[in-house]
Amino acid sequence: MRFAPSPTGPLHIGGVRTALFNYLFAKKHGGDFVLRIEDTDQNRYVEGAEDYIVRALNWCAIPFNEGPGKNEKFGPYRQSERKHLYRQYADQLIANGKAYYAFDTSEQLDAHRKGHEAEGKTFIYNWHNREKGRLVNSLVLTEAETQARIESGDDFVIRFKSPQDETLHLKDIIRGDISIDTNVLDDKILFKSDGMPTYHLANIVDDHLMAITHVIRGEEWLPSLALHQLLYNAFGWDAPEFAHLPLILKPTGKGKLSKRDGDKLGFPVFPLEYTAPDGTVSRGYKEDGYFSEAVINFLAFLGWNPGTEQEIFDLDQLVSDFDLARVNKAGARFDPDKTKWFNHHYMQQQLDLDLAEQFKTSQSELAEIDVNYIALVVGLIKERATFVGDFWDLSHFFFTSPTSYDEKASKKALKEGTFGVLNKVIELVNKTDDFTVENLQTNIKGWITDNEIGFGKVMMPLRLALVGALQGPDVFDIMYLIGKAETVKRINALAGSIN
């Protein structure tokens, strides 16, 4: 299996999904997961993009077995470093009558297109016009004329000679049987005079030389399947099995998911934050606080399902259960809320101490706080959190005393007699020598019950005193963690403000 991205910018989550499905299939069947960098289009090459791809795969825990700088038994794995290989295969196709030189200039081709458009037609370079003399290629030029043009430095391309009047029978693991009339195919460019192959030739040659048995790629490559199969036939090589994944759709379900959708609706579409050459910064799932396990889990469900109600899968379970037969043909709608649901689940699986270390690093107010204390706090609040970035709003009162009280909460919690209630609670707290959650509950709840006081009359102002609002985990947990002295201080502060 191979994942073969182009280093033209950050890796979109659609590309990560393709890499994931290749990884899962390879691991399930005891194969290798290969990374190949398809950088034949040097005009679109972006410095740093390859490094970004590698870092993204590593963060997602789907590293490649073979690739640039790693176990290069079929290397090199950058197509720009393999360009010396491709010309011989282009020449082989010419020698076998499967390809030809074309010398048409861009201006000449534009004139043909415009002429066809004026007549309401579409210009296609193929069997119906390639040998009629209007196009300049080695099918109409003599061998000597062709060689003279090449030797004089004329620009040329090598085009594949698509067959005429044939029906091509293709098979796709996901799509099933496909039939193509070869008369509708154009003669694609395989090689350019700058010495670089196009994607089509390099892709086929590399897959053959690297012994790739299965090609799992995006639906956008389905129109190229016919050409690729024809190239395999022309070389006399066995083709790999193909599987074309469905599109990842916008949250509305209409159209392909794009970066613009993420910008508009407030979610990332890249695994890692990316800084473009012009300085533009794009959000990443990692930097937005997602766990890589959550990203992998939700990406797996964009087009695949296990056939059961189970939704939570770790990577080992995905490897075990993954089956291309359960990949859908229809596009998969991206649901930002579901990605958060997955992240919330994986939040609960993290060790409190690990989360505490992340929390401490991200919040300057915690620089001097013992990480073990922070971990105790995290254990109380993480069930309410989706991201580590949520922790401060959920827990700031464990670290700093309230400086004000929520107005709505105050109106609800502070009633006639609250002052006396708070002073009684202070008395009970001071009398609790063994300051544990259990003892606090016993003493305060016992007093409430014995005196037939409504719980709300005590617990709401108590929470307001501790937190500054009517929110947070159990008040007795808060009291225990902040300690007796801080508890008394906060209750006194509220009592003083209403007296």
pLDDT at 399: 97
pLDDT at 320: 97
Residue 151 lies in a domain: yes
- List the alpha helices (DSSP H) in 272-370: 292-300, 315-321, 336-349, 352-362
Same domain, 303 and 233: no
Same domain, 368 and 425: no
Given a contact cutoff of 8 angstroms between Cβ atoms, the answer to whether 478 and 397 are in contact is yes
Residue 73 lies in a domain: no
Q: How far apart are CA 320 and CA 120, in angstroms?
A: 53
Same domain, 111 and 56: no
What is the tens place of the pLDDT at every residue in 371-401? Answer: 999 999 999 999 999 999 999 999 999 999 9
Given a contact cutoff of 8 angstroms between Cβ atoms, the answer to whether 65 and 58 are in contact is no
Same domain, 52 and 89: no
Please list the ranges in the chain whose pLDDT falls under 70: none
pLDDT at 103: 97
Residue 176 lies in a domain: yes
Question: Which single residue is written with the structure tokens 């990480």?
Answer: 371
What is the tens place of the pLDDT at every residue in 62-107? Answer: 999 999 988 888 989 999 899 889 999 999 999 999 999 999 999 9
Given a contact cutoff of 8 angstroms between Cβ atoms, the answer to whether 265 and 218 are in contact is no
pTM over the 0.95 mark: no
Count of domains forming the chain: 5
pLDDT at 323: 96
Dihedrals phi, psi of 111, to nearest 5 degrees: -65, -40
Residue 76 lies in a domain: no
Look at residues 280, 315, 349 and tell me which one is the last residue of a structural domain: 349
Q: What is the CATH number of the domain that holds 213?
A: 3.40.50.620
Q: How far apart are CA 413 and CA 123, in angstroms?
A: 77
pLDDT at 254: 87
Dihedrals phi, psi of 79, to nearest 5 degrees: -65, -30
Residue 77 lies in a domain: no
pLDDT at 194: 82
Q: How far apart are CA 146 and CA 149, in angstroms?
A: 5
- Domain span holding position 388: 351-392
pLDDT at 84: 87
What is the tens place of the pLDDT at every residue in 423-440? Answer: 999 999 999 999 999 999
What is the tens place of the pLDDT at every residue in 229-257? Answer: 999 999 999 999 999 999 999 998 889 99
Question: Which single residue is written with the structure tokens 């090589």?
Answer: 237
CA atoms within 13 A on the CB side of 285: 27
Same domain, 104 and 32: no
pLDDT at 193: 79
Which DSSP state fits 388? G
Beta strands in 43-111 (DSSP E): 99-102
Gap between the terminal Cα atoms of the chain: 74
Same domain, 20 and 6: yes
Same domain, 270 and 317: yes
Name the residues annotated as catalytic: 259
Nearest 5°: CA angle at 124, between 119 and 130?
110
Beta strands in 182-240 (DSSP E): 189-192, 214-218
